[in-house]
Structure 1
């Protein structure tokens, strides 16, 4: 019997969505979607989704009464789109860095034979774009 597209093997666990807290959900969702070359979806209750195209959605949720606790979000991106993303960051005046501590401005890294860069979104979330996944022991 063929599997339904959302049925997963019993040994598979997959991230479906995660919430990204923002002071202005539209501003943050549109910023990230523009940099990554994606689109902002229709509101879903209090959430404004950005579909990453791999079955995972970032659901931007507005939190105005409390400070935003910055998080780290890493995106594996196609190598042939990386330079375009860097150009988009430059076009909107957002500094990118080669390192997660933001000490190497305007540079990209060459980790694991790929390229990567870090940048802040409007609420200070540390966003990362990378063209190669990190090598992990045993993988």
Structure 2
């Protein structure tokens, strides 16, 4: 049996603002609208469908594999916006990036506190 992730819902307090934040940070095309979702398309056919939550938002983790050049652009946007960032998901290495698996990675938060991560090498890819 073959299975591929097609989409997931990202619950947020303001779907338009959250979807726009992600597209701006990742340099993606503007979100599209589908029903009551603001949809951010990714290159591997997966979409993040932003929806307004009617309850308290529980932060989730979303990791994006990007190129080295794109990492430079995203990291520059993080710094330009004055966002807090860390080399690890617990925030114990605040103000740093990591070099896991010979690449680079960094964690930062979206407007609702979701943990966003950009990495240039998949975990476990160094050997």
Which residue of 2, 22, 29 maps to 1:12? Answer: 2
Runs (5+) with no aligned partner, structure 1: 1-10
Deviations 1:28-76 (A, max 9, x none): 111111111002332100100000121010000011x310011011100
1:7 aligned partner: none
Partners of 1:99 and 1:44 lie apart in 2 by: 34
Runs (5+) with no aligned partner, structure 2: none
**Which stretches of structure 1, 4 residues or longer, exceed 3 Å deviation after superposition?**
none
Is residue 113 of structure 1 aligned with residue 92 of structure 2? Answer: no
TM-score, normalized by length of structure 2?
A: 0.93
1:6 aligned partner: none
Larger radius of gyration: 1
2:55 aligned partner: 66
Deviations 1:61-104 (A, max 9, x none): 011x3100110111001111101100001111211110001121
Greater strand share, 1 or 2? Answer: 2
Partners of 1:70 and 1:114 lie apart in 2 by: 26
Q: How many residues align?
A: 126
Q: Give yes or no for contact 1:40–1:48 (8 Å, CA) kept in 2.
A: no
Partners of 2:87 and 2:60 lie apart in 1 by: 18
Is residue 84 of structure 1 aligned with residue 73 of structure 2? Answer: yes
TM-score, normalized by length of structure 1?
A: 0.86
Q: Give yes or no for contact 1:40–1:51 (8 Å, CA) kept in 2.
A: no
Partners of 1:32 and 1:118 lie apart in 2 by: 13
Instruction: Give me the CA root mean square deviation.
Output: 1.4
Is residue 52 of structure 1 aligned with residue 42 of structure 2? Answer: yes
